[in-house]
Amino acid sequence: MSRRVLLLAGAFAPAFLGTLSAQVRPVTRAEAVAVAVAQGPRVALARSDAAAAMASVSRARQWENPSFAFDYTKDAPRQHYSLGIPLPFPSRGARIDIANLGLTSATQRLAYEREAVAYDADTTYTGALVAAARARLSARAARDADSLLTLATLRRDAGDASDLEVEVVRVSAGQLANAAAADSLDAANALVSVQALMGLATQRATITLADTLDLPPPAELPGTGTILLIAAAESEARAAELGVSVERRWLFTQPALVVGFETDDPGGYEHQLLPTIGFSFPLPLFNQNGAGKQTAVAARDRANASLALARIELTAMRARAEREFVVARERVARSMRLAESAERVVSLSILAYREGATTLPLVLEAQRTSRETLFQVVDDIARVRNTAGLIRLLSLTATPGPP
């Protein structure tokens, strides 16, 4: 390959090459995942939802404040003092149960969001490893093309090859140089994506990938409990059902116990205190809580529909991921064997071309096949890792017990 082609290929990736000398520290997969979970905005939103659910439980458990009233009349006794104490009717316990179910659902969704963010960070790290591996393979392919161009030039000078063969190799080498530059740029962008997940500056790459792209360990068997997201949807459905029963009994809203005393009776008891006691019942004259019941029924129907949808979608997603995982593992084993064979074909074809026993198109085809096979190995390993992580995410089960 000529110096002009090499300079042209390197001009498209100065940022990536420059960062190699500006590395700060290597980052492992586990570290990237931990930082992303600790600083992820999705986890923060789920954590705030859980905090709001905890506040709802506290609000359901608290007792309403009493109300104080003072009246003055010209009739004796003139002064009236009363204290209205709200009564927990129709069911304080049901409202506490609804709040507890909401807290359970929010806690389960928080646990799922943590694992989902960890999965996203893991796949992003894997994507960066894939991009780096493809960049290395592309750079090696460009170097091999440069060597083949040198060999074709020597054969032409010796009278064993034509100018057409040299130009064909030159064009192929230039295309591979462009591909190497594009892949190196993709590797730099993927590295910056990992930094963004970790909350680091993204102006330039300041980390390196400490882990390698390898197959994941054997997956653990999924738990026997209820799937985490389904458990959260079930809690919401039970809370909505309780909400309907509460609203149906909420006809008189909230009654109150009224206690107090009267005084200032000039013609009778003068300034003695006369105790009073009574009850306050809001009368359902203008409405019978129809809107509240309709809202509760709509919320219950929506919660039940969401539960049914979650069961269907999660079951389908996990089944699809399990099928993809099996196929991906088979492809990895097959692609690795093919890659070894393709590498031997390239070596033999170059040797045969050097000795004049084969033609240039056969060498170029062997190199292309080997390059695509190696790329396929990298992609298949990444697919195995990602599908294994997805199966684990979709198989998370709810932990029994209080939140």
Identify the pLDDT of residue 162.
Answer: 83
The helix/strand/coil state of 22 is helix
Identify the pLDDT of residue 251.
Answer: 67
Identify the pLDDT of residue 127.
Answer: 95
Strands, E assignment, 264-360: 274-280
Identify the pLDDT of residue 257.
Answer: 86
Four-CA torsion 198, 12, 180, 197, nearest 10 degrees = 10
- 10-residue mean pLDDT series, the chain (403 residues): 38 42 76 91 91 92 88 82 81 87 93 93 95 94 90 86 87 92 93 88 84 79 74 93 85 79 74 83 79 90 95 93 92 92 92 85 90 93 94 84 44
Domain 3-394, CATH number (from 1.10.240.10, 3.60.20.10, 1.20.1600.10, 1.10.10.10): 1.20.1600.10
CA–CA gap between residue 11 and residue 199 (Å, rounded): 29
Identify the pLDDT of residue 353.
Answer: 86
CA–CA gap between residue 292 and residue 300 (Å, rounded): 12
Q: CB-based burial of residue 349 (10 Å sphere; 0-12 exposed, 13-18 middle, 19+ buried)?
A: buried
Give the start-to-end residue ranges of the domains of the chain: 3-394
CA–CA gap between residue 196 and residue 183 (Å, rounded): 20
pTM of the model: 0.80
Identify the pLDDT of residue 224.
Answer: 61
- Sort strands 274-280 and 256-263 into parallel, antiparallel or unpaired: antiparallel
Identify the pLDDT of residue 30.
Answer: 93
What's the gap between Cα 239 and its chain centre?
A: 26
Angle at CA 58, nearest 5°, toward 57 and 59?
90
CA–CA gap between residue 105 and residue 50 (Å, rounded): 8
Which residue in 133, 138, 137, 129 sits closest to 194, CA to CA?
A: 129
Identify the pLDDT of residue 24.
Answer: 63
Which residue in 197, 51, 119 sits closest to 396, CA to CA?
A: 119
Identify the pLDDT of residue 18.
Answer: 45
